[in-house]
Amino acid sequence: MTARDAIAHGGRLDEARRRYPHAPQPWIDLSTGVNPHPYPLPAVAPAAWARLPDDEAFAALETAARGAYRAPEDVAIIPGAGAQALIQLLPRIFPARRVGVLGVTYAEHAACWSAAGAKVATVGSVTELAAYDAAVVVNPNNPDGRILAPRDLAPLAEEMTRKGGLLVVDESFIDFTPAYSVVSMASMAGVIVLRSFGKAYGLAGLRLGFALCAPSRAGRLRAALGPWAVSGPALAVGARALSDARWLRAAAAASATDAARLDGLLERAGFGVAGGALLFRLVRHERAGDWFTRLCEHGILARAFPERADWLRFGLPASEAAWARLAAALEIA
């Protein structure tokens, strides 16, 4: 078993159904941080399905992403099949001997760097990261929602650029809090910013993400991804959605309201809210494992953490019926 095989992820409904075959249907999946109200899918031209995507389709997506992410003109924007694909690729393209990861965080970063031969350490502060050849910061952090302002990361970005190192800032959950983005620093040779499309736009199955970086790094990244790294339908849907700033603002406001509602629900059930971003909430409870089992028996999948037995993470329910079932399972209806 590899390190990556051992990582527990959310969204494992198939496994939950096998373990709890008598749970009520349909299951409510609260184990991921994906917007439960997805962007309305536009009509996709048949040619997007039938032909290999052309340069114009890639250019349209990159233009939309530049506007949505407020990326300077001197920042290269490279699309890929989800942020995860880019996370796995970066250590192979830009190898490092010693890598520091600001933790506790999304475990795939450490696993991918380790698989590429790096010695990886989890550290507790940004200042400690400057001692490493490469550094990883997830911002907002998954799972606790810790968020750092650009001024907190600027000295590290400058140091990594000065010494020829690399700072990877994973902004997969930042779309609803864009003021905290460090995309403006992505033109620095020592910085790569990752963005996820599927989480905020609720279309995780589309598999679309971006790396934003200096042109000096872009060529190697594009070459490693190869031609047609993103499907034609993903290019079309992504370009449309990323151009719809009005929808994104409304989605952010709705998620903020739902996150506050979820906090109240969980606190009344005896959980201590430990943090989170607008698409997920992290809670603590001394009997979190028992609660995880109880919720599964009610057909509700939360996110458990084998390494932290007192943690659970909840995504946002998608409907009033889902809210009611969660409240009933928590016995506070």
Domain final residue pick, 206, 226, 243:
243
Domain end, chosen from 184, 212, 243, is at: 243
Query: Are 293 and 182 in a shared domain?
Result: no
Please tell me whether residues 184 and 226 are part of one structural domain.
Answer: yes
Angstrom CA distances, 62 to 184, 268, 293, stand at 16, 45, 43
Residue 8 lies in a domain: no
- pLDDT number for residue 5: 42
* Distance in angstroms (rounded) separating the CA atoms of residues 176 and 37: 14
* Judgement on whether residues 167 and 199 belong to the same structural domain of the protein: yes
Q: Residue 154 is inside which H or E element, if any?
A: helix 150-163
Q: Say whether 79 sits in a helix, a strand or coil.
A: strand
| Structure token pair of residue 127 | 């200042």
Structural domain harbouring 274: 13-38+246-329
Q: Which residues pair with 169 in a beta bridge?
A: 137, 193
pLDDT (0 to 100) of residue 7: 58
Residue 307 has what pLDDT? 87
> Which three-class secondary structure state does DSSP give residue 283?
strand
In sequence order, the 6+-apart residues with CB closer than 8 A to the CB of 5 are none
Looking only at the bridges linking them, the beta strands covering 280-284 and 311-315 are: antiparallel
pLDDT of residue 12: 86
- On whether the CB atoms of residues 195 and 172 are closer than 8 A, the answer is yes
Residue 52 and residue 138 in one domain: yes
Same domain? For 60 and 140 the reply is yes
- 99 phi, psi to nearest 5 deg: -125, 130
CA 227 to chain CA mean position, Å: 24
- The answer as to whether 309 is a domain residue is yes
In sequence order, which residues have a C-beta less than 8 Å from that of residue 291 and are 6 or more positions away? Answer: 271, 285, 302, 312
Domain-located, residue 302: yes
Residues 26 and 69 both lie in one domain:
no
Domain limit, last residue, from 212, 243, 274? 243
The verdict on 106 and 160 lying in the same domain is: yes
Tally of helices (H runs) and strands (E runs) in the chain: 12, 13
- Tell whether 1 is covered by a domain: no
From first to last of the 333 residues of the chain, give the pLDDT tens digit: 233 444 577 778 999 999 999 999 999 999 999 999 999 999 999 999 999 999 999 999 999 999 999 999 999 999 999 999 999 999 999 999 999 999 999 999 999 999 999 999 999 999 999 999 999 999 999 999 999 999 999 999 999 999 999 999 999 999 999 999 999 999 999 999 999 999 999 999 999 999 999 999 999 999 999 999 999 999 999 999 999 999 999 999 999 999 999 999 999 999 999 999 999 999 999 999 999 999 999 999 999 998 899 999 999 999 999 999 999 999 864
Instruction: Work out how many domains the chain is built from and give that number.
Output: 2
> Does any domain span residue 199?
yes
Closest C-alpha to 6, from 145, 107, 139, 130: 107
Determine, yes or no, domain membership for 305: yes
The answer to whether 191 and 169 are in contact (CB under 8 A) is: yes
Per-residue pLDDT tens over the stretch 146-178: 999 999 999 999 999 999 999 999 999 999 999
Instruction: Specify whether 281 is located in the same domain as 231.
Output: no
Q: Is residue 127 one of the residues assigned to a domain?
A: yes
The Cα 212–Cα 215 span in angstroms is 9
The pLDDT of residue 2 is 37
Element housing 268 (H / E): helix 245-268
